[in-house]
Chains A and B, each alone.
Chain A
C-alpha cells in the first residue's frame, strides 16, 4: 500500500519536470521512510538521485517497498494541469497496477496512469573524491547557467578558496559570472585546491529546472571530474545530479 499527500502540488510538478529531463521512464521506489528514484540518462553523461522522505509529505503511508514504474512524460503532462493552491494525493492501486494522482483545488481531478514494468538497474553512485564545494542560492545558479548559455554550449566551473566562477567562451565572446565571499549568492565555500571542469550547458539547463523547488544548491567538483549538484527541497528532500565533465575535441 502506498499513499502520499503534498499540500502544494507544484512541488511535485517541479520534481517531475526535473527528473523527466534525463529519463523517459524510471522506477520510483516507495518505502516506509519515503520516496526515491535513481536514474541515469541513456548517454550515461548524467545521473539523478532523488529522495523525498516521508516527513516531507503532509500525509504518507507505505507498508512495504513498492516499485512504481512511471512514464515521466505522462506524469509531467498530468502535473502541468496542477493549479496554484492545489494539493496532490498519490495513491497506488495494486490490483490495477495504476497510480492515481488526485489534484484537489476548486474541483477534485483524478488522473490515473498505468504503471510500467521497468527492469530495476543497480546504479551505484559515482565514486568521486571532491576537492571543492560551494553552496550558492538556487536562483544564482539558474542565472549563471542562463548567462553562460548566451555565448556558449558549455561552461567551465572553477571553485577557488574564496570564489566560484562560471566561465563560458563562444566563437563570438565570453561570459564570466563570479560569486565571491562578499556575494549574497555565495553561502559557503571550501576548496582544498583550485578545482575546475567544463560541463555541457544543455544538461545543466535541464538540471536547474528543479531550482524552483529549492532554496540553495551545493556544487561539488574536482578538476576534470564529474560535478555533483545537490538541491535541497523543503521538508528534507533532495535532488542530486551527477554530470560527467566535457572534454574538448582534438
Chain B
C-alpha cells in the first residue's frame, strides 16, 4: 500500500496521502463482495431467462473497470472541480432522464431505460448523486449568503427531478431523492418547526400513497399482514436467512436464487445470507455502516458548507439505499425495489455509485487548512 513516499508530490502521490484510505478499503471490499455475490446469484437467474450462465457476471465485470476508473479520477478532483463536474453531468443526466420518457424502453411496466447501442442506461441512477451535489451547492450558497435563494432553487431543482421520475414511474428513486434532499435541508439549518412540518408531510405522503395508489397499498398491506396477499418473494428471502444459518449453506449451495426473479438485484442480500451465512451478512452491514459513519465523522471536521452538505448527502443516499434494501430483505420494510450499493447487479447503478463515492472520496480528502484530527494521520 505504501508505494508512495510522503515526499512524493505527484498527483497520485498526493492523492494517496490525502485520500481516506480506510473508506477506500471498505469500498474495495464491498465491490469485491458484489462481484462474488453476482457470481453466486446471477447464473441461476441468467439460465432462467435463457441467457448464458455467466451473462450477468460478464456484464458486471465489463462495467467494473470503467467504474473504478471513474471513481479514481473523480476522487482526484478538488471540491470546486467536483462541483463543476456535478453541475455539467447533472445537466447531461437530466437531458437523458427526460429523453427516457420519450425514447425509453418499457420494462416491467416502467420506462427507466435508455438503450444506446449495446448499452442500456438508467439515467435515474446517475441523477441521484449529481442532484445531491448540485442541491448541496445551492444550499451552501444560501448558508454563506442568506440573501441567496438557495432553498428555492434547490426546491425547484428537486421538483424538476422528481417529475420525470414519477412519470416513469419510479417511486423508489423519487422517495430516495426526496429523503436525501430533506436530510440536506435539515443539515443546512432548516428550522425545527419546518422539519416537523416536513416530517408530518412525509407521513401524510405515505398515508396518501396508501390510499391513492393501489400498488403501494397492496405492498404495505402485505407487509403488515402477510396473509393478505402474495408474499412469496419475502417468504423465500426470510427462509434463505434461516436455512443459511450462521455460516451459510456454502457458495453455490443456495436455492432461493433459482426461485426469486430478482435474486441478482433486489434480493442479492438474501442470497448472501443463504450461501455465506449470517456472519458474512453482518460483515456486509458493518461495511456499509463503516463507510457511512466514517464519512460522517470526517465531514464533522469540515468547515465548508458545500463539502459538508454534498458529502453528507451522498453518504445518506448510499446509506439509505443499503438500509432500505437490507430492510426489505429482512422484512423490516415493505417491499421496494432498491439496489444494494456495489452489491446488486446493474451497470448504471455501479457506475453511478462509483461516481457518487468518487465524489465522497474527493470531498473527504485532507486539504490544506482543514483540521486532520481523523483524516490522513490515521493511516
Q: Do A and B bind each other?
A: no
Residues of B within 8 A of A (CB): none
